Every structure is written in C-alpha cells, then in structure tokens.
Amino acid sequence: MSWTTTQVTAPAHRIDLGIGQPDPALLPADLFQQVSLEAPALAYGTEAGDERFRSALATWLNRRQTQPASAGNLLVTNGSSNALDMICTRFSQPGDTVLVEDPTYFIARRQLSDHGLTTIAVPMDENGVDILELAALIDQHKPAFFYTIPTFHNPTGITQSTERRAQLVALARDTGCPVVADEVYQYLYYDQPPPDPLASFDDRAPILSIGSFSKLLAPGLRLGWIQAPQAMLAPLIGSGLLASGGGLAPVTSSLVRPLLEDGRFDHHLSRLSDIYRRRLATLVQGLTDHLDDRLEWTTPKGGFFMWTHWRNGADTDAMLLRAHEVGVGFQPGQKFSASPEQASAMRLCFAFYDEAKLTQACERLSRL
C-alpha cells in the first residue's frame, strides 16, 4: 500500500524517528466498514457539535476521570491543532504574550507565532512546570494564556504530578489566567493511568483541556474536543466560524460515536497501548545496548516520545545531516526550545516503526 499522499512520507532508506505520527499499519479501517452514516450528520448541526456524540464522549470520559464531564462542557473540534487555533483566535490578539513550557511542542510554537503572539518560556522539572516561576511570569506579563502539555509531554515525556496539577489549577483560578492544556496523549498510557485532565479539577478555574482521536484512533478523522467550563466555551461557540458553518466534524462524529458506545474503541485502544508499550521497551533496550554510555534519557510512561541528551553536549541540529547519511533521523532539540541546554537533545518517536526497525535505528544512532 502506498502512503505517498499522507502528510509525512517515510524515507525509503532512512528510519526517521523524528516522525511523530501513528504507524499507518495500525490505522483501524476495519472499524468503520460496518458503521452507517445517519442523515442528520449531513446537516450543519449545533455549534458545539453533535449532541449525541458529545454525550457519548462524556460518558466515555467519565469512566476515566474523577469529576464528571457533560455534553454541555464539551466542544467538538477538527483535531487538536484546530482547537488551539480557535483558542488563539478567540482568547488572544496579535502582540499578546503567551507562556509556554521549556521545551514545548514545536508545531504549537509555530501556531502561536502564526497568530502574532510572543512566547515566553517557563522552566520545567520532573513534575512539570515550575509553579513559582509561572506565577511570577503571569504577574509580570499578564499573558493571554499559558499553554501546557501536562500528560506524557511532547517532547520530554514528563507527566505533571497530581499535586502540581492542583497547584496549576489553583493558580489559574486565583489569577484568572487561562490555561490551555494540550492533552492528546492522556489516554495512551503503558503503566498506571495518569492524573485527571486539568479541566476536570475545578470548574471555577479557566482551564481548556484539548483532546483528540488523532493518536488514539486515526489522524485522518480530524476529530477532537475541548473540555472546559461553559463560560470558557462560550467565546468559542459564539464565533463567526461556528455561526456560519455549524458544528465541526458532524460526519466523523457520527462514525466514531457507535465505537465509543459499544466498546470497539476501547478494544482498539487497549490493543494499541500493548503494541506501543512493546515498542517503547524495544527502543529503551536498543539505546541501552548501543548508547548507554553516550546518551541519557528518562523513560516515559505513555505517549509517543522519548527525550534524550548526548552526554558530551553535541549539537543535534548540526548532527542531523550525518544521521541521515547513516540512515536514521530524529527531531533536534533546537526545534522545541531556544535554550542552549536543549541543543544536545533529540526527540525520538517509537510509535511509527515496528520493533525490528527501532532496534536497527538504535544501531545506526550508535554510529554517531
């Protein structure tokens, strides 16, 4: 099967661990072969998205979080990138400041820049964002919002602790600074479930949690959601975009809803987690066998990525051409941060390739 029409085409002679996408071989086309399309899905629909789908999604979420969600605090989006774009449009204007973690997802940095926003980095530790530093920067810059990836962080793999999440939510409530939580990996865990999504902690806090089926089911669905208090969703639902076109992804919502309701999605997600768990273990073993004396890393407990650093401080951006020559690729640290200490970092994705290719990639990395 040819995948030349996808967003990223895997190089024929290179194992590119920089590709941060699901393995095309794992995309579950069979799940949709017996799903029928209902006529109401072909209409404009309500601004927040199909209510039956939002109710089914809320039921699914409520089996996985302490505080209940409802259809009323969910907004359907065309994936997480669309969600962030809508939030930028309605919660900021060009010239505003936005706080982000250091490092952070490079495409999110690009989206914020596209909206004319100035980003200021906030340091992290092993439990997530530095709350004291964040509080000081909120007080100093009065940002439009703070963008965070609290679960299986992209690129570091860090998951904010429950205590850190509670502190962050309390800070947002007390200061009124909105927090945009990009939580697309929340349900893709390989050990114990992570703490609850930020939006479920306190409905008095201005938190917008972004979820997506892109990593859990298939990116081509372009289906995601925002969970937030109704007051936070109101500016989004009241936008000209939704007033003109109605709710987003009505057809896709109608195809995914029965999968949520009858357990087929749960079965698929369990299988996917098992496969990715084995691939992560393979990557860890390969790095241990070939690069333990030259690389340092922390093994994530979910998500797609491992964040590694060369012990000798080598510049990974400068190293990338040589890596391509030996048949391997990665995302260099400078894409995710302007900090010099991240220049020796590599983001490695273990989701796109099978175990044999991951083992081979580690051997090729060792030639660097």
Q: What is the pLDDT of residues 127-155, one digit of tens each?
A: 999 999 999 999 999 999 999 999 999 99
pLDDT single digits (tens) 191-216: 999 999 999 999 999 999 999 999 99
The model scores a pTM over 0.75: yes
pLDDT band at 1 (very low <50, low <70, confident <90, very high): very low
Q: What pLDDT is attached to residue 40?
A: 87
Please state which CATH class domain 35-263 belongs to.
alpha beta
pLDDT single digits (tens) 27-39: 999 999 888 888 8
Residues of the chain above pLDDT 70, percent:
98
Q: What pLDDT is attached to residue 67?
A: 85
For 363, counting Cβ atoms within 10 Å of its Cβ (0-12 exposed, 13-18 middle, 19+ buried), the class is middle
Confirm if 117 and 94 have CB atoms less than 8 A apart: yes
CA distance 119 to 107: 13
- Pairing of β 331-332 and β 97-102: unpaired
CA atoms within 13 A on the CB side of 309: 12
Residue 234 has pLDDT above 80, yes or no: yes
Residue 4 has pLDDT above 50, yes or no: no
Residue 9 has pLDDT above 90, yes or no: no
Which part of the chain has CATH 3.90.1150.10? Answer: 15-27+266-365
Maximum CA extent, the chain? 61
Which part of the chain has CATH 3.40.640.10? Answer: 35-263
What is the CATH architecture assignment of 15-27+266-365?
Alpha-Beta Complex (3.90)
Averaged pLDDT for residues 97-124: 98
pLDDT single digits (tens) 259-269: 999 999 999 99
CA distance 64 to 353: 29
